[in-house]
Every structure is written in C-alpha cells, then in structure tokens.
Amino acid sequence: MARTVSRVVVTVMLIAGVSLCGPAVFAQKGGKPDTGPGTTTAARKYLEGRWGLLSFDVMPPGKPVVHVGAQGSLVYDAFGNVKWEVRVPPDVVDPLRLAGVPSDNGVISMDGRAVVDMQARTLTYFVEGQPRLGAPSGPLALNRKRYWVVEGNVLTLTTKSDDGKAVSVAKWRKLEESRQP
C-alpha cells in the first residue's frame, strides 16, 4: 500500500511540474548548438583566451573622466568562466574610490561567469556569493551589463548608467587563444 501511495505522489508531482513549466519545455531545440558568425557559440569562441588591458576609463557623473592607465588581464574559458584583474596606479586609487570603484590595495578583480546576449550585445557577470539584483553600487556593479563591441582583436566593454550614458569603458586586446587539453 505504501509503495502504491509513493508512486501516486511521485506521478502527481511530475504532472504538476510539467504543467507548471508548460509546453515550452518540449519546444526546446535539441541537437548541436548553432555555429557560425553571429551566434552565441561564435561569440563564446571569440572570447576564449587571454586578453590584455589597453585602456580603462571611468566616467563619474559631474566629475572629470578617470583615466586608469592600468595593467590588466582578462581570461575567458570555453565554459563561460571569466576572471579579470586590473592593477591601478597609486595616484588613481582614490579618484576611482570616489567614483564608486573600490580596489583592494590597488587591485580590482572579479572571478565568476559571464553570460553572452547576442541580441543586446551584452555580457552579464555572475559571481558566486554576490547578489545579482539590487541597486547599482558603482560603475562596475554586477547588475550593470557590459555592452561589447568587437573590432579585429580588440574587445570594448562599456558599462552604462540607468539613463544609457557610459560610466566605464575598457578596451582589451587578445593576447592568446584558449588552449584545449
């Protein structure tokens, strides 16, 4: 009797779960991911590898642009994992802090995942243990999307304020492709 009740409960839960998800669960495309220019797969492949920072500017509202002139690296792997680190010159640490970009002894870093949106041409960062939602805490807040533009081997990431104005612009040059085992 207990076994029959268990099967009925599991069956009801499965039916309820499928009905809550709707037919979209079954409409998902199977098979190989899309490939070729303009696809998410192509964008991810392009991002894979090591990048060197060419320039990084922060535009605080009502204040002069902070030209960071820093050294930095960005590494993006085949699984969407991303790690970036920027070393800030000592004379720029305080202006960046006042603009809402804190550093740890002159180092700004992030280690997490990046999701590519081809239609909006954005990257969204997710860092374990960090809340994604909430009010922005500065130009590099996680809830701000990075708008990307590719020109040859240069990737430009622009973070915008709620009114659409650029609040940071970082240009990265591809240094090496990702190595697959």
Q: Given a cut of 90, is residue 94 above it in pLDDT?
A: yes
In the structure, how many helices (H) and strands (E) does the chain have?
Answer: 3, 9
- pLDDT of 7-47, one tens digit each? 333 333 333 333 333 333 333 344 455 666 667 677 777 78
Residue 12 is predicted with a pLDDT of: 33
Q: What is the rounded (10 degree) CA torsion for 67, 68, 72, 76? A: -60
The pTM score is: 0.71
Beta strands at 81-87 and 71-76: parallel, antiparallel or unpaired = antiparallel
- Asked if residue 21 is part of any domain, the answer here is no
Least confident of 60-64, 106-110, 126-130: 126-130
The rounded radius of gyration (Å) of the Cα atoms in the chain is: 21
Is 7 domain-assigned? no
Give me the CATH number covering residue 109.
2.40.128.50
Count how many domains the chain has. Answer: 1
Residue 145: the pLDDT is 86
80 lies in a domain?
Answer: yes
Residue 167 has pLDDT above 50, yes or no: yes
Mean pLDDT of the chain: 76
Does residue 30 lie in a domain region?
Answer: no
Would 146 be classed as within a structural domain? yes
More confident residue, 67 or 143: 67
The percent of residues in the chain predicted with pLDDT above 70, rounded, is 70
Angle at 13 between CA 9 and CA 18, to 5 degrees: 150
Predicted confidence at residue 115, as pLDDT, reads 87
Residue 147: give the domain boundaries: 40-176
Output the pLDDT for position 19. 34
Both tokens of 128, joined, read 């374990």
Q: Measured between alpha carbons, how far is residue 170 from residues 38, 58, 149 in Å?
A: 22, 9, 11
Whether the Cβ atoms of residue 121 and residue 46 lie closer than 8 Å to each other: no
Token readout for 55 is: 């320039």
Residue 16 lies in a domain: no
